[in-house]
Amino acid sequence: MTNPTDHRTLNRRQFLARSSGIAASVTTCISGGAALLTSATATAKPQSTAQDCTPAVTEAFYGRHQGGIATPMQRHSYFVAFDLTSEQKDDLISVLRDWSAAAAILCSGSAKFDPHANPDQAMAQTGVAVGLPASRLTVTIGLGASLFEQNGKDRYGLADKRPAALIDLPHFAGDQLDPQRTGGDLGIQVCADDIQVVEYAIRRMAAVAAPHAVMRWAQSGFAGNFPHGYTGRNLMGFKDGTMNIDPNDQDSMRHFVWVGEEGPLWMRNGSYMVIRPVRISLEHWDTMKQSFQEQTFGRQKTSGAPLSGQHEHDALKLDAQDSNGMPLTPDNAHAAMAAPENNDGAQILRRSYSYDNGIARIAERWPPWRQAMMFDAGLLFQCYQRDPRTGFVKLFDRMSKFDMLNQFATHIGSGLFACPSGAEPGEFIGEKLFA
Amino acid sequence: MTNPTDHRTLNRRQFLARSSGIAASVTTCISGGAALLTSATATAKPQSTAQDCTPAVTEAFYGRHQGGIATPMQRHSYFVAFDLTSEQKDDLISVLRDWSAAAAILCSGSAKFDPHANPDQAMAQTGVAVGLPASRLTVTIGLGASLFEQNGKDRYGLADKRPAALIDLPHFAGDQLDPQRTGGDLGIQVCADDIQVVEYAIRRMAAVAAPHAVMRWAQSGFAGNFPHGYTGRNLMGFKDGTMNIDPNDQDSMRHFVWVGEEGPLWMRNGSYMVIRPVRISLEHWDTMKQSFQEQTFGRQKTSGAPLSGQHEHDALKLDAQDSNGMPLTPDNAHAAMAAPENNDGAQILRRSYSYDNGIARIAERWPPWRQAMMFDAGLLFQCYQRDPRTGFVKLFDRMSKFDMLNQFATHIGSGLFACPSGAEPGEFIGEKLFA
């Protein structure tokens, strides 16, 4: 940036704020001209649920951690996995560098990708988001295992730098993974409160990568605009996230989410993202009695309270029994399967969105095994953890075998991406990997 | 409704307000219990663009016209076309009756479909939208030509009631219509400002129809949260809707949108909906120079002003010339092709959303004719008119041959649906067709 005054000032301030654990927020509008900057204070949210309509907040791109992980969930998301078409390490570096530069400017709310570009070059300015606020846009960049090693081949001379935690995910019971929705050399997650800002940003990032990468698979997601403090509901009608890690709980984040000194330098303060589109048989689910649904989830539908409790945030009390000595919560209820006390304390930061790809001809998994047009919709499961072996794999290996929810849920895609630490202004995400 | 007091009061008030041309609005929240009703006044919006975040407004289902036509555009939409699986006229009537009853309650903001249903029946209450406001939900119901006549067969004894205006759309130049995205016996459009409310409502409507109808095709859409009074932008980055009919202009609506005495009784105050998913080659478009894009649209990109003007709402002045006597706006620019003065005064009420179905392997239409993974995204074109022969067909027949935009846009699906007049409480949409 040869004329960095405005952005440098902004980024430095955001960087300091992010580093001290306080999210910086700036009221700014994506416009063709100069961005209107007004400082404001973000409200800390206790839970990672969908945000109220707060149109004019900017999330810092630069900082100790990448955005989009501890960030309170925005309303819309778009994930794209890319495969590199080049076997040159410099081209990989070029993609990561250009992505970081583009993302920093996108997140700042400026529509101009390159302030020195010819204004007649539409590539610099698609115009799609002109007039819209930045809407808490975040861009989260991840590296897939295939960058380090693919079919035994060390494509970029990075094989010996592959972190032990960047495993090949095992095959789980029930997995029906579509290769065209699985894996990828690189993964990008864009989130914002405005769907058009998300569209604008993901298209921009795809264009930036285009010289050296092709899109492999993509999935957008959404969350309802539930009121502040209300745990959002998924497409099964249940509150989702009641027991999630609180991103403001620094101890939990350090313990469960951020990579510590056990990881390579480029991953410290980073995290591992697991992303899995999970198709849910909504038509079938909707025919189930509510009492059965509640047994399946291990929670009450309307309030979200445990089956043994009254209020959403009551303790689960998995050993509570009815007057006949029968457990109130089935051992294979979803909430019981996921509870830390049944998993040696394991926890992950979930950041899942719902998805809906319209309708498709789908074969039912129960008599009379109809083939019919049904909603191709469900959960875009997403979580962040310090180490997938002690996070997602630890939890899901058992759940994939026993969770009552499995009869309605099918994992149809999968990805694991190492999301490096955040970057300082002038640095790019993942730069330390190449040091 | 055997216990209709609350709903009857509400619907009657809304019906009267709608009939007098003033949109009624009620602050209400979709909840498992009683709806909290507070009267409020809707702000008349001069243009049919996306709405600001106004979370707690209810649109009346009952009234002279169906909702979702003159209603200022919401932020999210979901269209589903259905095919009937029954050859019994009573089953068709049953679907329309159940849809109207369900839609009335959905739009009122009550999550309970049937207040007398067993609360243990999840079909009555998926719970997906509990906690969310009604978010200006509208449901618009339309009848396809195949209900009246299909392959020469009079399936329901309605052939002689087919309105002359419910034509079979002709094949237009460049049409690449996928049969699986074309036609349908019935069409439903659900719109709301909250995507989760849209998901909830369309799933509910599909479940209500399920005994007698299967889904044929579906397409969701979205609009950015542009500020009040700002004409929203499409995925090509241009403002879209500057010259649209103002739904508050009763004369224009009567003249161009609402069916008058020329139509059968059941269609009077109704309208004809044309809906066409239009794939746009965004990657290709984004490589075009902005000056070329502006020539193609016939408008300036950032401001939306005509090429001959300074401000968005300046007159088009299609005959304006530069100092060399060359026209400032090409004859085949999109704005010129669509202008009423070039079409014998024809106008339609456009109500298009953007769509994005993720990525797909798509063959390019220009050298070197790459096949690559690209965004399967574009415009879910939608318009309402008094008669498609003098509306969409009149306009698009010429545009499909000459519009410069065509090189980036491909019509991949199509539907024409007769949307009957609105209903009074106790009546169902389309009831007069069977009188």
Q: What is the pLDDT of residues A124-177, one digit of tens each?
A: 478 898 888 899 999 999 999 999 999 999 999 999 999 999 999 999 999 999
Alpha-helical (H) ranges within B20-154 are 89-108
The answer to pTM > 0.90 is no
CB proximity under 8 Å: B 387-416 to A: none
Are B131 and A283 an interchain contact pair (Cβ–Cβ within 8 Å)?
A: no
Higher pLDDT residue, B131 or B408? B408
Residues facing residue B187 across a β-bridge: B81, B142
Q: What percent of chain A has pLDDT over 70?
A: 84
Distance between terminal CA atoms of chain B?
A: 22
Best residue of B228, B290, B291 to probe chain A, by most A CBs closer than 10 Å: B290
Measured between CA atoms, the residue of chain B closest to residue A287 is B123
With contact defined as beta carbons under 8 Å apart, do B76 and B193 qualify? yes
Higher pLDDT residue, A22 or B261? B261
At A13 the pLDDT is: 37
Are B122 and A218 an interchain contact pair (Cβ–Cβ within 8 Å)?
A: no
At B49 the pLDDT is: 36
At A56 the pLDDT is: 55
Report whether pLDDT(A49) > 80: no
Residues facing residue B276 across a β-bridge: B381
Determine the average pLDDT of the residues in B5-16.
Answer: 36
pLDDT tens digits, A305-314: 999 999 999 9
pLDDT tens digits, B417-427: 999 999 999 99
Residues of B in contact with A282 (CB under 8 A): 203
B237 interfacial to chain A (CB closer than 8 Å): yes
CB proximity under 8 Å: B 124-153 to A: 125-132, 135
B356 interfacial to chain A (CB closer than 8 Å): yes
CB proximity under 8 Å: A 9-28 to B: none
Determine the average pLDDT of the residues in A57-85.
Answer: 97
Provide CB contacts within 8 A for A20, sequence distance 6+.
none
B197 interfacial to chain A (CB closer than 8 Å): yes
Report whether pLDDT(B257) > 90: yes
B121 interfacial to chain A (CB closer than 8 Å): yes
CA distance A80 to A93: 18
The three-state secondary structure class of A45 is: coil
Chains A, B: CB pairs < 8 Å: 178
How confident is the prediction for chain B on average, in pLDDT? 86
Q: How far is B357 from chain A (nearest CA, A)?
A: 7
Are A302 and B130 an interchain contact pair (Cβ–Cβ within 8 Å)?
A: yes
Banded model confidence at residue B307, pLDDT cuts 50, 70, 90: very high
A354 interfacial to chain B (CB closer than 8 Å): yes
Report whether pLDDT(A37) > 70: no
B217 interfacial to chain A (CB closer than 8 Å): yes
- Among the ranges given (A168-177, A191-200, A272-281, B28-37), the one the predictor scored with the smallest mean pLDDT: B28-37
CB proximity under 8 Å: B 65-104 to A: 75-76, 80
Question: Which candidate from A123, A219, A357 shows the least CB-CB separation from B286?
Answer: A123
A120 interfacial to chain B (CB closer than 8 Å): yes
At B423 the pLDDT is: 98
At A287 the pLDDT is: 86
Banded model confidence at residue B109, pLDDT cuts 50, 70, 90: confident
The three-state secondary structure class of A239 is: strand
Report whether pLDDT(B20) > 60: no
Measured between CA atoms, the residue of chain A closest to residue B239 is A128
Provide CB contacts within 8 A for B215, sequence distance 6+.
A359, A373, A374, B80, B81, B82, B206
Banded model confidence at residue A293, pLDDT cuts 50, 70, 90: very high
Question: Which candidate from A128, A195, A235 shows the least CB-CB separation from B199?
Answer: A235
Q: How far is A6 from chain B (nearest CA, A)?
A: 22
- Single-letter code of the amino acid located at B406: N
Higher pLDDT residue, B414 or A44? B414
At A122 the pLDDT is: 42
Banded model confidence at residue B170, pLDDT cuts 50, 70, 90: very high
Residues facing residue A352 across a β-bridge: none
pLDDT tens digits, B178-192: 999 999 999 999 999
CATH of domain B5-141+179-263+425-434: 3.30.70.100
At A66 the pLDDT is: 98
How confident is the prediction for chain A on average, in pLDDT? 86
Are B132 and A373 an interchain contact pair (Cβ–Cβ within 8 Å)?
A: no
pLDDT tens digits, A167-176: 999 999 999 9
The torsion defined by the Cα of B417, B422, B424 and B426, in degrees rounded to 10, comes to 20
* Pair of tokens at residue A163: 């972190």
Best residue of A53, A73, A79, A196 to probe chain B, by most B CBs closer than 10 Å: A196
Report whether pLDDT(B408) > 50: yes
Cα separations in angstroms, A45 against A70, A71, A191, A351, B150: 11, 9, 17, 14, 56
Banded model confidence at residue B111, pLDDT cuts 50, 70, 90: low
Residues of A in contact with B225 (CB under 8 A): 53, 55, 132, 135, 193-194, 196
At B56 the pLDDT is: 55
Report whether pLDDT(A382) > 90: yes
Measured between CA atoms, the residue of chain B closest to residue A232 is B131
Are A233 and B197 an interchain contact pair (Cβ–Cβ within 8 Å)?
A: no
At A366 the pLDDT is: 81
- Single-letter code of the amino acid located at B204: R
At B369 the pLDDT is: 84
pLDDT tens digits, B77-94: 999 999 999 999 999 999
Q: What percent of chain B has pLDDT over 70?
A: 84
What is the residue extent of each domain of chain B?
5-141+179-263+425-434
Provide CB contacts within 8 A for B292, sequence distance 6+.
none
Are B122 and A290 an interchain contact pair (Cβ–Cβ within 8 Å)?
A: yes
Question: Which candidate from B235, B288, B290 shows the least CB-CB separation from A128?
Answer: B235
- Among the ranges given (A54-68, A83-97, A407-421, B347-361), the one the predictor scored with the smallest mean pLDDT: A54-68
Are B372 and A214 an interchain contact pair (Cβ–Cβ within 8 Å)?
A: yes
CA distance A101 to A110: 12
Q: What is the DSSP letter of A182?
A: B
Residues facing residue A174 across a β-bridge: none
A55 interfacial to chain B (CB closer than 8 Å): yes
Q: How far is A233 from chain B (nearest CA, A)?
A: 6
CA distance B366 to A89: 31
A295 interfacial to chain B (CB closer than 8 Å): no
At B225 the pLDDT is: 93
At A388 the pLDDT is: 98
B362 interfacial to chain A (CB closer than 8 Å): no
The radius of gyration of chain B from alpha carbons, rounded to an integer in Å, stands at: 22
Report whether pLDDT(A47) > 80: no
The three-state secondary structure class of B320 is: coil
Report whether pLDDT(A63) > 60: yes
At A52 the pLDDT is: 41
Report whether pLDDT(B237) > 60: yes
pLDDT tens digits, A229-282: 999 999 999 999 999 999 999 999 999 999 999 999 999 999 999 999 999 999
